[in-house]
Amino acid sequence: MKYYDKLIFECSKEGRCGYSLPKNAFPAAGELPQALRRQAPLDLPQVSEPDVVRHYTNLSQMNFGVDTGFYPLGSCTMKYNPKINEEMAALQGFAGLHPLMPARLTEGACKVYEEMDKALAAITGMYKFTLAPCAGAHGELTGLMLMRQYHINRGDLNRTKVIVPDSAHGTNPASAAVCGLEVVEVKSLENGRIDVEALKPLLGPDIAGIMMTNPNTLGLFETEIKTIAALVHEAGGLLYYDGANMNPLMGVVRPGDMGFDIMHLNLHKTFSTPHGGGGPGSGPVGVAQKLVDCLPSIRVSAFHGNFGVILRAYAYILSLGQEHLRKVGEYAVLSANYIKESLKDVYKLPIEGVCKHEFVFDGLINDGAHDDVPGATTLDVAKRLLDYGFHAPTIYFPLLFHQALMIEPTETESKETIDAFIDVMRKIAAEAAQDPNILHEAPHNTPISRPDETTAARNPILKYQEN
Amino acid sequence: MLDKIGVKKLDDLYSDVPAEFLHKGAYALPPAMSEQEIRDYFASLEAMNAKLKVFVGAGAYDHYTPSVIPYLCARSEFLTAYTPYQCEISQGTLRYIFEYQSLICMLTGLDVSNASLYDGPTAAAEAMKMAIACTRKKTRVLLSKGLLPQVIEVVETYARFHGVEIGYVPVADGQTSAEGLKAELAKDDVAGVIVPSVNRYGIVEDHTGFADAIHAEKGLLIEYCDPSALAVVKTPGEWDADIAIGDGQPLGLPLCYGGPYVGFMAVKKDHMRKMPGRIVGQTVDKEGRRVFVLTLQAREQHIKREKATSNICSNESLMALWVTIYLSLMGPEGLKEVNRLSCDGAHYLYSELLKTGQFEEVFPGKPFLKEFVLKPKQPKLQERLEKAGFFAALPTEEGYVSFCVTEKRTKAEIDALVKAVMEG
């Protein structure tokens, strides 16, 4: 990767362009009335096609992707994105379909939706899916709307609170707030699981439901799920499953069987569609049979959701088929446990035992917290990993530990890659003990060094300004 | 690997899962397909879809996509990258988002853009929430009946659960009624008003006096725009709007049966810290080089949880790149030319359709660009045109039919469409 400084505006030269449009064969329509016309100059860049191609190619070379290297990124399942999926999504018979074409004209697309619905239902044990949500958080919001609608339809209007564990993804409480629900936090036990005794007094006629992910954000299976489901249902609430952590359960356990009533999936995580630098995603929502009637009243996106993403995910499901589904879950869990056991003598493992697809270290054993022993923080470790060609893990989440460092390898990495990662993590631990400054100042080999984020927030420059 | 972990077999890794939850038997999925089988199967699905010339817009427009865009967006450094939290290895993503934000500000004439939202209707829903957050105690948001139906429905869905009351401004003579707006504003409590820059009938709206009337009641003016049309129509900034929103799809994104598209939002600087979504800012690194980072994150869900301005996390980053490259290639002249070709083509179709004697004008003399409605004299026009190879004459709630012409439609295609109408 090399530093490249230009912005597209700085490639601009008056009179250049990069398009090719047909000659105008029509009589000229009249101009818009003056009062409705744009007055301001249109300062778009003027760039030739080769200059555009070079500029964005140069930009791309400052980026790290799954195709570049390993992403041990907890809570965000960054697995390999098979290329056949891209080819299928680009087919003109799909890409050229107008979303308002009636079903009689789009039988192929409708069949994809039907089969995808069935496949996701089979994988998760839910009854029916809507594919309209465009991302995971969008799915959460849709799922919570369905939760509230279910209670409203039964005339049960006082269920205005939702229980969220303190270890939950930030989107959970945020989605609840957008949905008009009050968040009630339930604490975790020292072993990382939900405290069932603390949950009991929270349950009552004002509780719409509980949002959980299982395994939770520590990568630990909620062993009391059966009890929790029974308690919540007994109190008249519903169970929401945050599908961000579905990967270890693929082919092994189904959320529907554990008692969950509503869930979302992240097709851009579990189902291998590319993350695109932050989207597009797709967040299908599945419901139990008793919620099916609530689906038609909730419209959350322009048309049918992110069809292009759904096509990719469907190609992935077909490539796994019945035979290979279980390998996804098992190998993801195998890789995570292998890394955990290989590093726990140099990184603090706060909770022992078998994990699922991910686990959390509470920083280095030599964490730099004591003046007399050299060490480094989780941020330092993350930044140093970049020097060695790995993406950083998710850091400082979950909030249960001060130096949280969350590792998720996924099933698509070879043992050789994983061993190389373990070696580097051990090397970094050794560096932290011997010469922690190398870590404090990392990264050293990336196109840029650590940025001044304080100034960025204090004096925001959020668009191009000519000097 | 199992030895290192200290277990004997893969099943042991699930020993903490109660046995009753371990799935027994096969999953109800089709057998695994090879790559060739997937190709063949998708080809068979693709063949089940009709291949028609598109003469419909209504929120999704069949504009031309320069071949450079899919080529560059397929670069795996962009395609397979994660959200740019690790800025040292994400300068590519961060820079194009910064460019995207700058371009959205140029188009809309407003100060600050975010890094993208899901689509136009959800951007409108976010703007509705933002109006409530910016104006504190107010509880009502007004929607113009001239907005696209999908925008109204999505905003209504969000509002119902978010506890926002929705009011409506009627359409009179083909555009959002100034009198209707004043009547609604007089009822008090209005946090914001969402109006279309170009409405569901394709008419370019006149919003003279809207901002003053709304600002007098301390509400926000929110303009829902077609970003392509902003090259030629008065901008949200020029209407003195507080927020501009819309769908970036007309900027060269394939129709793709409705997604992925990209919602955009730009606001006046005062409202910057109430904005939903990610924002990229410029700063320097330790060597003093210009670099880009995600900034103002104290608004976001991963920091503020239930107090965040929105729940949005993943957005439509790659589609923002698509839009950025589109605008870079087209430049000011290209975007204006797209408007000119579409507008001239649409007006040609409009007059040719009227000549057939099979339509009545609905809004004579009202200014439109690429899209318009007419009242058909014969029923089932859409179905008849389908048989002739056209997706056209989309029926509206009011009993009109809607047509759209983009620069992709040739004169020969338009003449053939008109011929099909006449042959009925």
| Binding-face residues of B in 221-280 toward A, CB within 8 A | 230-235, 237-238, 247, 254-261, 272, 278-280
Report yes or no on B203 lying in a domain: yes
Both B249 and B396 in a single domain? no
Q: Are residues B320 and B343 in the same domain?
A: no
Question: Residue B328 above 70 pLDDT?
Answer: yes
- Please tell me the distance in Å from A427's CA to the nearest CA on chain B: 19
Q: Are residues A298 and A438 in the same domain?
A: no
Residue among B96, B116, B257 whose CB faces A304 most closely = B257
- Residues B57, B87, single domain; the answer is no
The alpha-carbon gap from A131 to the nearest alpha carbon of chain B, in Å, equals 11
Residue finishing a domain among B299, B324, B349? B324
Q: Is B315 close to A38, i.e. CB distance below 8 A? A: no
Shortest Cα–Cα distance, B185 to chain A (Å): 24
A261 and A316 belong to one structural domain: yes
Is A310 in contact with B348 (CB distance < 8 Å)? no
Residue B298 pLDDT > 90, yes or no? no
Give the predicted TM-score (pTM) of the model. Answer: 0.98
Q: Is residue B39 part of a domain?
A: no
- The residue among A23, A221, A223, A301 with the most chain B CBs within 10 A of its CB, best to mutate, is A301
Confidence of residue A466 (pLDDT cuts 50, 70, 90): confident
% of residues, chain A, pLDDT over 70: 100
Work out the pLDDT band at B399, boundaries 50, 70, 90: very high
Helices (H) and strands (E) in chain B, counts: 13, 17
The answer to whether position B10 is within a domain reads no
Give the pLDDT confidence of A180-214 residue by residue, as tens digits: 999 999 999 988 899 999 999 999 999 999 999 99
With contacts defined as CB-CB under 8 Å, which chain A residues touch B35?
84, 319
- Which of B268, B296, B324 terminates a domain? The answer is B324
pLDDT digits (tens, 9 = 90+) for A72-85: 998 899 999 999 99
Tokens of B310: 């929105």
In a domain? residue A458: no
Return the pLDDT at A399: 87
CA A432 to chain centre: 31
* Whether B109 and A461 lie within 8 Å, measured CB to CB: no
- Amino acid in the structure at residue A356: K
Are A374 and A327 in contact, with CB atoms under 8 Å apart? no
| pLDDT class of A1 with cuts at 50, 70, 90 | confident
Q: Residues 116-145, chain A: which have Cβ within 8 Å of B?
A: 118-119, 122-123, 134-138, 140-141, 144-145
User: Is residue A120 domain-shared with residue A268, that is, in the same domain?
Assistant: yes
Residue A72 inside a domain? The answer is no
A interface mutation test: which of B88, B245, B330 has the most A CBs within 10 A? B88
Q: What is the CATH number of the domain that holds B350?
A: 3.90.1150.10
**Structural domain contains residue B162:** yes
Give yes or no for residue A370 having a pLDDT over 90.
no
B138 contacts B113 by C-beta, under 8 angstroms: no
Verify whether the Cβ–Cβ distance A391 to B329 is below 8 Å: no
> What contacts A454, CB < 8 A, 6 or more positions away?
none
A230 vs A214: CA distance, rounded Å: 16
User: Are A270 and A247 spatial neighbours (Cβ–Cβ below 8 Å)?
Assistant: yes
| Residue A88 shares a structural domain with residue A48 | no
| Residue A250 shares a structural domain with residue A219 | yes
A148 part of a folded domain: yes
- Clarify whether residues A310 and A349 are in a common domain: no
Q: If you average pLDDT over every residue of chain A, what do you get?
A: 96
End position of a domain, from candidates A267, A301, A320: A320
Average pLDDT over every residue of A441-447:
96
B395 falls within a domain? yes
d(CA B409, CA B419): 15
- CA separation for the pair A405, A417 (Å, rounded): 19
Domain assignment of residue A74, yes or no: no
Q: Are residues B182 and B75 in the same domain?
A: yes
- Any idea how long chain A is? 467
pLDDT tens digit string along B259-288? Answer: 999 999 999 999 999 999 999 999 999 999
Give the alpha-carbon dihedral of B152, B155, B158, B162, to 10 degrees: -120
Give the span between the Cα atoms of A86 and A311, in whole angstroms: 9
Shared domain check, B294 and B355: no
Based on the domain organization, do B59 and B102 belong to the same domain?
Answer: no
Q: Do A29 and B347 touch (CB under 8 A)?
A: yes
- The stretch A83-94 carries a mean pLDDT of 97
Is a pLDDT exceeding 80 seen at residue B424? no
Average pLDDT, chain B: 97
Burial B349-367 (b: 16+ CB within 10 A, else e): bbebbeeeebbeebbeebb
Same domain (yes/no): B374, B401: yes
- Whether A196 is in a domain gets the answer yes
Q: Which of A67, A160, A178 to mutate to test the interface with B (most CBs of B within 10 A)?
A: A178
User: Does residue B81 lie within any of the structural domains?
Assistant: yes
Tell whether A459 is covered by a domain.
no
Instruction: Please list every residue in chain A whose beta carbon sits closer than 8 Å to the beta carbon of residue B310.
Output: 174, 178
B362 and B262: one domain?
Answer: no
Domain co-membership, A116 together with A176: yes
B380 and B295 in a common domain:
no
Q: What is the tens place of the pLDDT at every residue in A378-431?
A: 999 999 999 999 999 999 998 889 999 999 999 999 999 999 999 999 999 999
The β-bridge partners of A241 are: A212, A263
Sign, CA dihedral B54-B57-B62-B63, equals positive
Domain CATH for A253: 3.40.640.10
Q: How far apart are CA A360 and CA A366, in angstroms?
A: 16
Q: For A273-288, what is each residue's pLDDT tens digit? A: 999 999 999 999 999 9
Domain that includes residue A203, residue range? 83-320
Q: Within 10 A of A445 (CB to CB), how many other CB atoms are there?
A: 12
| Beta-bridge partners for B171 | B176
Task: Residue B128: give its domain's CATH number.
Answer: 3.40.640.10
In a domain? residue B46? no
| B residues 364-423 closer than 8 Å to A (CB) | 367, 369, 386, 391, 394, 407, 410-411
Does B343 sit within 8 Å of A461, measured CB to CB?
A: no
The chain A residue lying nearest B292, using CA atoms, is A451
Q: Is A279 on the interface with B (CB under 8 A)?
A: yes
Q: Average pLDDT in the A303-326 region?
A: 98
Q: Are residues A223 and A314 in the same domain?
A: yes
Judgement on whether residues B80 and B185 belong to the same structural domain of the protein = yes
The pLDDT of B315-327, averaged and rounded, is: 98
Choose the closest CB to A446 out of B79, B88, B308: B88
Instruction: Give residue B46's pLDDT.
Output: 97
Pick the residue of A5, A6, A8, A245 with the most B CBs within 10 A to test the interface with B by mutation.
A8
Q: Is the link from the previous residue into A398 a cis peptide, with omega within 30 of 0?
A: yes
A169 and A149 in a single domain? The answer is yes
Instruction: Quote helix, strand, coil % in chain B, to nearest 5.
Output: 45, 20, 40
Residue A423 placed within a domain: yes
| Backbone conformation region of residue A396, classed left if phi is above 0, alpha if psi is from -120 to 50, else beta | left
> Domain range spanning residue B377?
53-64+331-423
The dihedral region occupied by A126, where left means phi > 0, alpha psi between -120 and 50, and beta the remainder, is beta
Domain membership of residue A32 (yes or no) is no
More confident residue, B146 or A465: B146
Whether residue A467 is predicted with pLDDT greater than 70 in this model: the reply is no
Q: Which residues contact A277 (CB under 8 A, 6 or more apart)?
A: A63, B78, B81, B82, B83, B84, B90, B92, B93, B97, B317, B318, B321
A residues 188..217 contacting B (CB < 8 A): none
pLDDT at B268: 98
* Number of domain units in chain A: 3
pLDDT tens track for A331-363: 999 999 999 999 999 999 999 999 999 999 999
Interval A235-276: pLDDT, tens: 999 999 999 999 999 999 999 999 999 999 999 999 999 999
For B155-204, where are the E strands, in sequence order?
165-169, 171-172, 175-176, 190-196
**Among residues A309, A299, A302, A314, which one has the least CA distance to residue A141?**
A299
Chain A (217-276) residues lying within 8 Å, Cβ to Cβ, of chain B: 220-221, 223, 225-226, 251-254, 257-258, 268, 274-276
Given a cut of 80, whether residue A371 has pLDDT beyond it is no
Same domain, B354 and B307: no
A267 with A162, same domain?
yes
Q: 3-state class of B98 per DSSP?
A: helix
Identify the pLDDT of residue A368: 81
- Tell me how many residue pairs between chain A and chain B have CB atoms under 8 A apart: 633
Residues B129-157 have a mean pLDDT of: 95
Q: Is the CB of residue A127 less than 8 Å from the CB of residue A287?
A: yes
Q: Is there a single domain that holds both residue A90 and residue A221? A: yes
Residues A271 and A397 in one domain: no
Give the number of other Cβ atoms within 10 Å of residue A444's Cβ: 12
- Tokens 């049979």, residue located: A289
Q: Does A103 touch chain B (CB under 8 A)?
A: no
- Whether chain B has a CB inside 8 Å of the CB on A354: the answer is yes
Residue A373 pLDDT class (50, 70, 90 cuts): confident
Phi then psi for residue B141, to 5 deg, are -125, 135
In angstroms, the CA A221 to CA B389 distance is 55
Does residue B44 form part of some domain? Answer: no
Closest chain A C-alpha to B191 CA, distance in angstroms: 17
Task: Report the number of distinct structural domains present in chain B.
Answer: 2
In this structure, the answer to whether residues B208 and B306 fall within a common structural domain is yes
